[in-house]
Amino acid sequence: MQFSDFCTKHSPMSNNQEEPLFSETTEKETDKKCPNCGATVVFNPKTGMMHCEYCGYSCELPSAETEKEICEMDFESAIHTESFNWGEQKKEVQCKQCGAISIYDALETAAVCPFCGSTSVMPAATENTISPGAVCPFSITKEQAGLYFLKWLKGKWFAPAKAKKNVFRKAFQGVYLPYWTYDAQTTSNFTARAGYTKPVRSKDGRTRIETTWRNVSGIFQKSFDDVTIMASKRQEDSGVKECEPFDFSKLIPYSPKVVAGFTAERYSIGLKEGWQIAQKNIKSKLKSDIGKYVCKHWHANCYDSVRFSTLYSNITYKYLLVPTWISSFRYKGKIYQFAVNGQTGKVGGKAPVSAWRVFLAVLMGIGILVGLYYFLNQ
């Protein structure tokens, strides 16, 4: 899958970009070299260590300094809360290893230098953006992701056999995607109706269920922890949401060393917009939870007409990078995107559907129904 046209060499004389470029230089940690053979050392998901693919050298990641502990940030005191429409904006990045200048999408923060092959890690934040506080490292390899995907695709009965054979399971790109998580204390003032059901026998001997309603009201409090929002607009259709959740117990403080060798993306959904999306998710959960509270507190059998207003307090957030293996394949002129959770192997995406297989399934269903009908009426 092509994520950007970052293999274009840039020179001032041939720059025909319509949008102005801005410049960045790769981080000093960007290209860790093997002390044995001089090759690039990258993070190995299988071992959780920095690894040289050529001579087998391995070393542990440095321990996190005390000041880099993962912590919740106060939402109200955040300065840079806006979203970004990076669009087609590009940036020029100078590699510290070979000095070459390459063109990348503006939202990319890690890739591989197309000229010397070194791991290019760019500044994680710009002047107007927030830097990630933590990373969920990859724990499954590209090969394992391919196997998880094939197993998922084979389980799709309506997927065409030809599509299953033509998929290249090694065509994966390891991508660290931006996520927001929000914590909040909620206090909701609510009204609802508590329902009490009982069976009633009518004059003709039939039994029906009758419900008596009672108007109720009260205060409901609930704490929410790690309400997660994907902060990437360009990955909304890639299947990433379907391969959630991610295991935040494995978080480590952000370090350029961890993302080196992978693609990493800056957020395009800002802190404030992310919180607005999170509130919709919280309200949906609150409506269900208040209904259950009504049934329990007033010993009701059912509920309806839940209405509430909510006050949010102690709002905190984290800006994280989560691991995904992303790819796509083409079938009959249409591109199908999918993603594999870089921690659990859970697959998300849409598979092509064979009209012939759907037709056969419908015929089989009709045949079974007809068979049951004749069997029951014999």
Token digits for 195? 């329902």
pTM score above 0.75: no
Compute the distance between CA of residue 327 and CA of residue 339 in angstroms, rounded to an integer.
6
Q: Are 31 and 40 in contact (CB under 8 A)?
A: yes
Compute the distance between CA of residue 151 and CA of residue 139 in angstroms, rounded to an integer.
18
SS3 breakdown of the chain: % helix, strand, coil, rounded to 5?
20, 35, 40
Q: Are 170 and 142 in contact (CB under 8 A)?
A: yes
Distance of CA 354 to the CA centre of its chain: 28
- Report the SS3 class of residue 308: strand
pLDDT tens per residue across span 68-105 = 566 676 677 766 666 555 444 545 565 666 554 444 55
Model pLDDT, residue 24 = 46
Cα dist from 180 to 135, 229, 272, 275, whole Å: 12, 5, 10, 8
Model pLDDT, residue 116 = 52
Token digits for 366? 């009709």
Model pLDDT, residue 175 = 86
Pick out the chain residues at pLDDT < 50: 1-26, 29, 63-67, 86-88, 90, 100-103, 114-115
Strands 108-112 and 173-201: unpaired
Token digits for 329? 């394949």
Q: Residue 255 carries which side chain, given as an amino acid letter?
A: S
Cα dist from 299 to 295, 303, 326, whole Å: 5, 11, 49
Q: What is the DSSP letter of 132?
A: P
- Report the SS3 class of residue 153: helix
Model pLDDT, residue 4 = 39
Place of tokens 């090969």: 143
Model pLDDT, residue 64 = 43
Q: Residue 281 carries which side chain, given as an amino acid letter?
A: N
